[in-house]
Amino acid sequence: MSSEKNLNLKLNVWRQKNAQSEGGFETYEAPGISTEMSFLEMLDVVNEDLITKGADPIAFDHDCREGICGACSMVIDGRPHGPKERTTACQLHMRSFNDGDTIAIEPWRAAAFPVQRDLIVDRAAFDRIIAAGGFISAPTGSAQDANSLPVSKQNADLAMDAAACIGCGACVAACPNASAMLFVSAKVSQLALLPQGQPERYIRVRDMVAQMDAEEFGTCTNHGECEAACPKGISVENIARMNRDYLKASLTYRPEATGGGAG
C-alpha cells in the first residue's frame, strides 16, 4: 500500500510581475508536504499560504492536471517538468523528492516564449506555426468516406506517435538552443505519414519552417535533449523526417506562375 510521508522543502522560485518588469528568485518554505501530492498541488498549498499572508501567489499555467492539455510548464531543478521521465509537472508526485530538498523552479526560457508572469509564458508562437501550415485543408463537408483511403497500420501508428505531442514546449525549454524542431517536426511528420497529407506535404514543411524561424526559435544541433524532456516521448526521428522533406521541398520548389489562368 501507499507509504505517505511528509516532506519539508525549500523552493527557489522565479518571480516576475509582468512581461515588462525584471524578475528574480525568491525562496519559500514548504513544510509538511505529503508525498501523495502532485507537484502542482504542492504549489497550491504554498500559494494558499501566500494568499493568507497577503502576498501574491506564484502564477503558473495548469489546467487538466492529467498530463494531456500541455498547459503546465516549469523547469524543476534544471529539467522541464522535473526529474521523472515522460511525466508532466501535474503528474509528477512529491514522492520523487526527499525531505530537506531545495527545489529550483523556473519558467521556460526562450525568446519566443516571453514570460507573462512568474512561471507563465506566452506560447502563441506554437499556434502561429500551426496556422502557417500545420493542417490538412479539408473544409467541413468535403470529406469522402473514411474507409476510402486505407492507411497502413504501421504508418497510422507512426503518425499517432507523432500526433501525441501536447504542445507544452518542454522540447524548446530543454534544448540548449531553444529550438522548436521537435514540436514542428512532430506535426510535419504526422501529416506527411498519412495519404491525406500528401497534397500539401512540401508546401507545409516550407511554410512551417519559415514561421518557426520567424518566431526566433533556435536551431537544431542534434543534442537530443528535446526527446529526453518530452513528456510524450516524441522521437527525434521526426526531425530527420522533416529535414528530409524540407530538403526535397527546397530542391523541387518551382515558383508559382504569375500569369492569369484560362479566364
Partner 1 sequence: MELKSNIPEGPLEKKWEKYRNDMKLVNPANKRKYKIIVVGSGLAGASAAASMAELGYEVDCFCYQDSPRRAHSIAAQGGINAAKNYHNDGDSVFRLFYDTVKGGDFRAREANVHRLAEVSVNIIDQCVAQGVPFAREYGGLLDNRSFGGAQVSRTFYARGQTGQQLLLGAYQALERQIGLGKVKMHSRHDMQELILVDGVAKGIVTRDMVTGAIESHLAHAVCLATGGYAPVFYLSTNAMGCNTTAIWRAYKKGAAFANPCFTQIHPTCIPITGDHQSKLTLMSESLRNDGRIWVPKKPGDKRPPNDIPEDERDYYLERKYPSFGNLAPRDIASRAAKEACDNGLGVGETGLGVYLDFADSIKRLGMHAIEEKYGNLFEMYERITDENPYKTPMRIYPAAHYTMGGLWVDYNLMSTIPGLFVMGEANFSDHGANRLGASALMQGLADGYFVAPYTVGNYLAGVKPSEHPTTAHAAVQAAEATVKARIEKLLAIKGKRTPTHFHRELGKIMWEHCGMARNEESLKKALELIPKLREEFWSDLLIPGAGDELNQSLEHAARVGDFFELAELMCLDALERRESCGGHFREESQTPDGEAQRDDANFCHVAAWEYQGEGKTPVRHIEPLVFENVHLATRSYK
Partner 2 sequence: MQTGAGFFGSSIGKKIVMAITGIMLIGFVVVHMIGNLQLYLPAHDGVYALDTYGEFLRTLLHGSGIWIARASLLAAAGLHVWAAVGLTLMNRAARPIGYQQQQYDASTFGSRWMRVSGVVVLAFIIFHLLHLTIGNILPGFEHGKVFHNVVTGFQVPWVSAFYIIAMVALSTHIHHGIWSMLQTLGLSHPRYNGLRNGLATLLTIVVIGGNISFPIAVLTGFVR
Count of C-beta atoms within a 10 Å radius of residue 68: 16
- Determine the Cα–Cα distance for residues 66 and 96; give it in Å rounded to an integer: 17
Q: Which CB sits closer to partner 2, 36 or 77?
A: 77
Does 79 interact with partner 2 (rule: CB under 8 A)?
Answer: yes
Which of 25, 26, 29, 56 is in the footprint of partner 1 by CB under 8 A?
56
Per-residue HEC secondary structure of 94-151 comes to: HHHCCCCCEEEEECCCCCCCCEEECCEECCHHHHHHHHHHCCCCCCCCCCCCHHHCCC
- Determine the Cα–Cα distance for residues 15 and 12; give it in Å rounded to an integer: 9
Does 6 interact with partner 1 (rule: CB under 8 A)?
Answer: no
- Of residues 111 through 130, those in contact with partner 1 by CB under 8 A are 116-117, 120, 122-124, 126-127, 130
Name the one range near partner 1 by CB under 8 A: 22-30, 43-51, 176-184, 234-242.
43-51
Which of 20, 27, 147, 252 is in the footprint of partner 1 by CB under 8 A?
147
The cell for 255 is: 515558383
Does 220 interact with partner 2 (rule: CB under 8 A)?
Answer: yes
* Contact (CB, 8 A) for 242 and 184: yes
Which of 197, 212, 232, 234 is in the footprint of partner 2 by CB under 8 A?
212
- x/- track of binding to partner 2 for residues 39-78 (CB under 8 A): ------------------------------------x-xx
From residue 259, give the alpha-carbon distance in Å to each of 33, 217, 244, 253, 262. 69, 36, 31, 18, 10
- Of residues 172 through 211, those in contact with partner 1 by CB under 8 A are 190-191, 194, 196-197
From residue 206, give the alpha-carbon distance in Å to each of 70, 125, 133, 247. 26, 16, 9, 9
- Determine the Cα–Cα distance for residues 168 and 53; give it in Å rounded to an integer: 32
Q: Which CB sits closer to partner 1, 102 or 152?
A: 152
- Determine the Cα–Cα distance for residues 245 and 55; give it in Å rounded to an integer: 52
Does 29 interact with partner 1 (rule: CB under 8 A)?
Answer: no
User: Which of partner 1, partner 2, none lies near 18, with the C-beta cut-off 5 to 8 A by kind?
Assistant: partner 1
Binding residues for partner 2 (CB under 8 A):
12, 25, 75, 77-79, 85, 104, 106, 109-112, 176-179, 206, 209-210, 212-213, 216-225, 227-229, 236-237, 239-247, 249-250, 253, 255
